[in-house]
Amino acid sequence: MTKGKLVEYLDDYLKIDSVKDRSQNGLQVDGATKVEKVAVAVDACLDTIREAGSWGADMLIVHHGLFWGREERITGVMYQRIAALVGSETCLYAAHLPLDCHPEVGNNVELVRLLGLRGETPFAKYGGVDIGFIATPAGNLSRDELVDKVSDVLESKAEVLPFGPEKVERIGVISGSAADYAAEAREHGCDTLLTGETSHVAYHLAKESQINLVYAGHYASETVGVKALGEHLAKQFSLKCEFIAAPTGY
C-alpha cells in the first residue's frame, strides 16, 4: 500500500490528535512511498533503526520517537539516527500516549488481556483522556502470584513494593513510568498498581496510599502495544510485520 494511505489509516485508527502529548505523534521522518514491510519497536534508537533497514522495512513504527515537542539540532546522535533512516529510506512513525490508551491495541489494554484480567474500566486522566485501565482478576489472585504472572508474560523480572493487601482484587494498569498514579489508583479503590518503573518518591507515595506497586520495567511494559499494532496491520493489510527487540533492562 502507499505510505500516504498507511499514515492516514494510522492517524485515524490511533486517534493521534485526541490527546495532548510531548511526543510529535505521527510520521516523523519521511521515506519510502510504498509500504510492504513494517517493523515495530519500543524506541527509535540506532539499533532498531539499523535493524529495520537491514530487514528492508519500509516503515518503522515506534512508541518512543525522535521528536518531543522541541526544536532539535540534527547533529551527533540525532544525525546518526536520521541518516540511517534516510539511507535505508525507512519511514519513521511514532505513537506515544495514543498507543498507551488505545482500547484495542494499546499497551494497557494488552497488559490487561495478556494477564487474564477483566473489567477494563478507564482511569488515570492525562492530556484530556484516560490512559490507564482498572481490571479485576478472574479468580483468587495473590500479590506474589500477580508478580510471577507479570514476569512470565513480559519475560522480565517484575518487582513489588508490598504496601497493599496480599490478596489482589482491583488492579490499576498503566505502562511505562506511572508510579505517581499510586494515590489516584487507591482513590479508585485499587489495592494494586501495575506499571513499568518506580522512583524514590513513589516509594513513600505507595506506602502512604497502602497500595501494592508492581513494576515490570518501562521497556518490557511497552513492548505489548507495538506488537499488537503490528499484528493488527498484518491482518488488516497483509503487510509483513516484524518486532525488533532492543531491551534496556529498565
Output the domain CATH number for residue 79: 3.40.1390.30
What is the pLDDT at residue 165?
98
* Residue 160 phi, psi (nearest 5): -145, 140
Q: Is 240 among the domain residues? A: no
pLDDT tens-digit readout, 203-248: 999 999 999 999 999 999 999 999 999 999 999 999 999 999 999 9
Q: pLDDT tens digits for 178-189? A: 999 999 999 999
For residue 128, pLDDT beyond 90: no
216 CA to centre of own chain: 13
| 11 lies in some domain | yes
Q: Are residues 119 and 79 in the same domain?
A: no
**Domain check: are 87 and 140 in the same one?**
no
When pLDDT is averaged across residues 170-175 and rounded to a whole number, the result is 98
Q: Is 20 left (phi over 0), alpha (psi -120 to 50) or beta?
A: beta
Distance between CA atoms of 120 and 57, rounded to whole angstroms? Answer: 34
Task: State whether residue 161 is helix, strand or coil.
Answer: strand
Cell of 219: 521497556
Q: Domain for residue 9, yes or no?
A: yes
* End-of-domain residue from the set 36, 65, 95: 95
Query: In the predicted model, is pLDDT for residue 127 greater than 90?
Result: no
* Of 54, 72, 95, the domain-final residue: 95
The tally of domains found in the chain comes to 2
Which residues touch 232 (CB under 8 Å, ≥6 apart)?
104, 105
212-215 and 159-162 beta bridge pairing: antiparallel
If asked whether residues 173 and 114 sit together in one domain, one would say yes
Backbone φ and ψ of 68, nearest 5°: -130, 50
Distance CA 134, CA 190 (A): 8
Does one domain contain both 163 and 137?
yes
3-state secondary structure (DSSP) of residue 190: coil
pLDDT digits (tens, 9 = 90+) for 32-74: 999 999 999 999 999 999 999 999 999 999 999 999 988 889 9
CA-to-CA distance for 6 and 237, rounded, in angstroms? 9
Residues 112 and 212 in one domain: yes
Does residue 20 belong to any structural domain of this protein? yes
Give pLDDT tens digits for 70-114.
Answer: 888 999 999 999 999 999 999 999 999 999 999 999 999 999 999
DSSP letters of 72-129?
A: ----HHHHHHHHHHHHHT-EEEE-SHHHHS-TTT-HHHHHHHHTT-EEEEEEEEETTE
Residue 235: the pLDDT is 97
Query: 177 φ, ψ to 5°?
Result: -110, 90
Is residue 29 a part of any domain in this protein?
A: yes
| Mean pLDDT across the chain | 96
Residue 210: the pLDDT is 98
Cell of 246: 532492543
Angle at CA of residue 80, ends 76 and 81, nearest 5°: 120
Q: How confident is the model at residue 28 (pLDDT cuts 50, 70, 90)?
A: very high
- Shared domain for 154 and 91, answered yes or no, is no
pLDDT score of 177: 96
DSSP SS3 for 213: strand
Q: Which three cell numbers stand for residue 242?
A: 516484524
Q: What distance in Å separates the CA atoms of residue 173 and residue 178, rounded to the nearest whole number? A: 9
| pLDDT value of residue 119 | 85
CB 110 within 8 A of CB 176: no
Give me the domain span that covers residue 202: 107-218
Q: Give the residue among 122, 121, 145, 114 at the shortest CA–CA distance from 223.
A: 114
